[in-house]
């Protein structure tokens, strides 16, 4: 079983692994991939713990909101004879204790925060990948690395060696977005060989539509961003767009810290209609508010390291937070939002 992060780097990590002979020996296929987010991975591991027979599990590019629960679940799975390999590039709070605990319970942990998980997977399994499959591995590695903004010298060298149409394909995939990870891997690993024209038509059509959509989000960001303090800007936007919104903001002049908060309703007519019916059915069936709706998700992008500050403040507000040095996030109780922002501004001033 493969469990991977549901983003470009995660799917590309899984794809590179599937090119290796080791994956074949363990009967891994696209259909054995399970994907998760930093929140859902806890639920997924619980389901596996109680409903699945012991097996080999590969976990790629995954940290969790609640690292303590994550660690404990991995230990419980290991005790129940699950053979676990964790390969990740995220910065984990107190990572030495976290990784040491897992290793002490027989879990293989490979962690390197200096590169994308896609590159880490390639370096780990390249001896097990046939040379004729290297082109696909390099393509996936470059998509994953650029998607996570972790372009090392090694990745840049591979990008420089690409023919221009292949380079165009890399960026088309990133602009189009990966809507269905398994479909994406099938198209890269198999279908592109059979019908390159069909592959490019599908990718470029979606990329073109997505490109216009990105410009709409940019317009909304520029219209609605607010300054909290010198170099610190915030926007309230639909939670689906917080990562993109924060990335757009941090590229603006004089912005050192970009904070996107998932509090606003979606702006499109279609999404407004969907929200209307969701609220209608909630009223009709008297559906109680579930715990997660009391939580709010925040995405942060910065020009200076901020992940440790986010982790510390999120924990103090009864939430969770962390990620990469310049790109991280948090999930906190909605009622703690103002306190979170106040503490964040104060901590940034001190740093």
We report the CATH number of the domain holding residue 278 as: 3.10.310.40
Q: Do 181 and 242 lie in a common domain?
A: no
290 versus 216: the higher-pLDDT residue is: 216
pLDDT at position 293: 67
Taking the CA atoms of the chain, what radius of gyration do you get in angstroms? Answer: 21
Q: Do 20 and 165 lie in a common domain?
A: yes
pLDDT band of 280, cuts 50, 70, 90 = low
pLDDT at position 65: 85
Q: Do 160 and 251 lie in a common domain?
A: no
Q: Looking at mean pLDDT, say which of 125-134, 212-221, 290-299 comes out highest.
A: 125-134
Residue 323 is assigned to a structural domain of this protein: yes
Q: What is the count of structural domains for the chain?
A: 2
159: number of Cβ within 10 Å = 17
Residue 299 is assigned to a structural domain of this protein: yes
Q: Do 298 and 188 lie in a common domain?
A: no
φ, ψ for residue 28, nearest 5 deg: -85, 135
Section 159-184 average pLDDT: 92
250 versus 282: the higher-pLDDT residue is: 250
264 closest CA partner among 213, 178, 334: 334
98 closest CA partner among 298, 311, 309: 311
pLDDT at position 270: 44
**Residue 278 CB-density burial (10 A; 0-12 exposed, 13-18 middle, 19+ buried):** exposed
Residue 214 is assigned to a structural domain of this protein: no
- Over the chain, what is the mean pLDDT? 89
Q: Do 73 and 164 lie in a common domain?
A: yes
Residue 219 is assigned to a structural domain of this protein: no
On the CB side of 280, how many CA atoms lie within 13 Å of its CA? 6
Q: Do 182 and 265 lie in a common domain?
A: no
Q: Do 201 and 337 lie in a common domain?
A: no
pLDDT at position 240: 85
Q: Do 189 and 317 lie in a common domain?
A: no
Q: pLDDT above 70 covers what percent of the chain?
A: 91
pLDDT band of 269, cuts 50, 70, 90 = very low
- Give the residue numbers spanning the domain of 202: 2-206
The DSSP annotation for 160-200 comes to HHS-HHHHHHHHHHHHH--S-HHHHHHIIIIIHHH-HHHHH
Contact between 55 and 1 under an 8 Å Cβ cutoff? The reply is yes
pLDDT at position 151: 96
């Amino acid at each position: 079983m493969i469990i991977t992060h549901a983003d470009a780097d995660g799917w590309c990590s899984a794809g590179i692994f599937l090119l290796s002979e080791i994956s074949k020996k363990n009967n891994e296929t696209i259909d054995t991939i399970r994907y998760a987010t930093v929140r859902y991975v806890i639920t997924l591991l619980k389901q596996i713990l109680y409903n699945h027979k012991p097996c080999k599990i590969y976990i790629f590019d995954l940290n969790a909101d609640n690292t303590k629960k994550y660690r404990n679940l991995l230990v419980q799975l290991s005790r129940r004879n699950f053979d676990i390999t964790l390969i990740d590039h995220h910065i984990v709070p107190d990572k030495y204790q976290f990784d040491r605990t897992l290793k002490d319970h027989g879990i293989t942990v490979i962690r390197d925060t200096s590169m994308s998980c896609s590159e880490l997977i390639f370096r780990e399994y390249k001896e097990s990948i046939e040379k004729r499959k290297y082109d696909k591995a390099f393509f996936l590695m470059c998509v994953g690395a650029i998607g996570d903004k972790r372009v090392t010298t090694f990745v840049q060298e591979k990008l420089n060696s690409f023919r221009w149409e292949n380079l165009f394909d890399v960026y088309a995939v990133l602009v189009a977005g990966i809507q269905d990870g398994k479909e994406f891997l099938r198209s890269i690993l198999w279908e592109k060989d059979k019908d390159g024209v069909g592959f490019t038509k599908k990718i470029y059509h979606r990329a073109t539509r997505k490109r216009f959509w990105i410009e709409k989000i940019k317009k909304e960001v520029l219209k609605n961003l607010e300054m909290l303090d010198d170099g610190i800007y915030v926007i309230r936007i639909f939670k689906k767009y917080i990562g993109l919104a924060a990335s757009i903001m941090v590229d603006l002049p004089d912005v050192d810290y970009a904070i996107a908060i998932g509090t606003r309703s979606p702006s499109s007519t279609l999404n407004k209609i969907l929200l209307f019916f969701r609220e209608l059915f909630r009223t009709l069936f008297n559906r109680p508010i579930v715990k997660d709706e009391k939580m709010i998700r925040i995405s942060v992008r910065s020009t200076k390291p901020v992940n440790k500050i986010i982790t510390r403040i999120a924990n103090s507000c009864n939430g969770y937070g962390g990620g990469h040095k310049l790109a991280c996030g948090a999930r906190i109780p909605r009622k703690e939002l103002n306190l979170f922002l106040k503490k964040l501004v104060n901590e940034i001033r001190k740093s």
